[in-house]
Amino acid sequence: MSLSRASRRTLLTAGALAAALALSACSSDNNGKSGGGGGTNFVTNTGGISTVAKGERQPVNKIAGKTLEGEQLDVADFKGKVVVLNVWGSWCPPCRAEAPHFAKVAKDMKVKGVEFVGLNTRDADTSKGLAFEEEFGVGYPSLYDPAGKLILSGFPKGSMIPQAIPSTIVLDKDGKVAARSLMALDETKLRSMIDPLVAEK
């Protein structure tokens, strides 16, 4: 049975995303200067963290599905809170290096209304991701996205999209893309992305 034209386009697009992520996978020295498309107003500091002025931010598309534990999760349910989205894979050395920092900051920032959600990608099965979470004490959920479909569809064209593994996207309280890093982060850099958005009125 032949695939429909729309199905072929979807497969081609997913393939392009997989190729792009493969090229930039596990890059610990990406400076984060690439944008998401024309007309954007990103400001990149020397630490490789890109930000968007409040009036220029775009809302994410639907980012929802099953977690590694098999539970349903929709990022839209966290509207009103700052949300940290982290793209990772258990096979990725920089992801493993940053994981303890993410686990600690997520625990510390929970009381300030900050939610963390992982996007686990390119792991062949959930057992690898679950073992990673246990090893590094990751207490927040991760959506299981082995083919990168959520990464591909979840971020609007022209916004700051994940372009490497690991990538971190921070959403403001309105569910809009406010900051991005395309490299592994330590606790200090991670907090520098989150704190200004927690303080926003």
Please report, in angstroms and rounded to a whole number, the separation of the first and last CA atoms in the chain: 54
Confidence bin at 4 (pLDDT 50/70/90): low
Output the pTM of the full model.
0.82
pLDDT tens-digit series, residues 53-78: 999 999 999 999 999 999 999 999 99
What's the pLDDT at 42?
Answer: 43
How many Å apart are CA 118 and CA 85, to the nearest integer? Answer: 6
The rounded percent of the chain whose pLDDT value lies above 70 is 77
What's the pLDDT at 47?
Answer: 63
What's the pLDDT at 147?
Answer: 96
Least confident of 6-10, 45-49, 127-131: 6-10
DSSP of 105-127, one letter per residue? HHHHHGGGTEEEEEEE-S-SSHH
Q: How many CB atoms lie within 10 A of CB 55?
A: 6
Above 50 in pLDDT, residue 44?
A: no
pLDDT tens-digit series, residues 126-184: 999 999 999 999 999 999 999 999 999 999 887 889 989 999 999 999 999 999 999 99
